[in-house]
Amino acid sequence: SAWEKQVRHSSTPRRLNGFSVLVTGAAGFIGSHCSLALKKRGDGVLGLDNFNDYYDPSLKRARQKLQSKHQIFIVEGDLNDEALLTKLFDIVPFTHVLHLAAQAGVRYAMQNPQSYVRSNIAGFVNLLEVAKSANPQPSIVWASSSSVYGLNTENPFSERDRTDQPASLYAATKKAGEEIAHTYNHIYGLALTGLRFFTVYGPWGRPDMAYFFFTKDILQGKTIDIYRTQDDKEVARDFTYIDDVVKGCLGALDTAEKSTGSGGKKRGPAQLRVYNLGNTSPVPVGRLVSILEALLNMKAKKHVIKMPRNGDVPFTHANVTLAYKDFGYKPTADLAAGLRKFVKWYVSYYGAESRVKKEGQHADETER
């Protein structure tokens, strides 16, 4: 097939030195940034993405185009396609998988629950099944989410805190992913590292997230909904800038052990790790809006309402000492500076359109 030829002839995923990384969700927000960063430092990268239409697929195509300029090839296919994954691992001896493909968004789960089960549970299991039989067995770093902390209100969240109160099906599938990872580590000796991301934002971001559609709506003069908690407090998020998250992902890959193979008997148990990758400073949504107003030099029309039970949680706050200790993760971006870069990208990407275009996309105000 066409992709097979591309993969075979591409030197990209094959490296004598450095890693060979399969990046799933490579046409996505975090995946595209990570692929470019890996490639830039000399690792081999091959992408996989199904280019679904959860949000504007043309944005995914634009991210793909940017990567292809840097000789990164993205195979178009689904995590659940076992034959495709098997073939990919047959052709390329991946040392690592950076697994970022998932059905994201907390609110959309009420409309389309099966999509979460398909990608985040069945798709993850399929990937692990293929990886466990691959030679070599790759180390896997995968995206979990701060949403696993659910309705927990004791902050900051550290990795050992309770994760038994998921507030959305999205959170439940991410939590399930952590349990599934544990099993594959235990039985098959796969080295696995889970990263709990906290509301990642930045250029090339996701249109279903608050900072993104607030920007769009403010520019278009549309009213934005600002949620307050049931007990009338501000909703806050530990917004984390994409460059910090990329550093965290690369740090996790760099410190990942090799998988030990079935049962992990030969070299002792393989690694199973879970880390928070947040910013450690929650910001109320009202503050997010005033930063955007200042950057756009426009006033937002605000509609303040109590939070409906739509999967959102009142706040998130990461403790990142573990990631700091193990791979030096240290978030440095300040929200205003990060949003400035986002707005600059937004205006140049959407251009004159940014003031008039109306898109019927999913809104996921405070997704984690």
**Which residues of this protein are in contact with ligand NAD, per CB under 6 A?**
25, 27-31, 49-52, 60, 78-79, 100-104, 119, 123, 143, 145, 197, 199-200, 206, 368
CB of 242 within 8 A of CB of 85? no
Nearer to ligand NAD, 119 or 152 (CB): 119
- Least CB distance to ligand NAD at residue 353 (A): 20
- Closest to ligand NAD by CB, 49 vs 244, is 49
Residue 241, classed as helix, strand or coil, is: strand
Contact residues for 25 (Cβ-Cβ < 8 A; gap 6+): 31, 48, 49, 99, 100, 101, 102, 143
Shortest spacing between CB 80 and ligand NAD, in angstroms: 6
**CA dist., res. 214 & res. 223, Å (int):** 9
- Please check whether residue 66 is in contact with residue 32, taking contact to mean a CB–CB distance below 8 angstroms: yes
- Smaller CB separation from ligand NAD, 191 or 210: 210
Q: Considering beta carbons, is residue 258 or 362 the nearer one to ligand NAD? A: 362
Q: Is 66 or 298 the residue whose CB approaches ligand NAD more closely?
A: 66
Report, in Å, the least distance between residue 262 CB and ligand NAD: 26
| Other beta carbons within 10 Å of 84 | 20
Position closest to ligand NAD via CB: 28
The set of catalytic residues is 170
Shortest CB 220 distance to ligand NAD, Å = 22
CA dihedral for 183, 144, 332, 282, sign (positive or negative): negative
CA dihedral sign of residues 164, 166, 172, 178: negative
Please name every residue paired with 223 in a beta bridge, in sequence order, or none if there are none. Answer: 301
Contacts of 182 (CB under 8 A, 6+ apart): 272
Nearest-approach distance from CB 113 to ligand NAD, in angstroms = 14
Contact 165, 283 (CB under 8 A): no
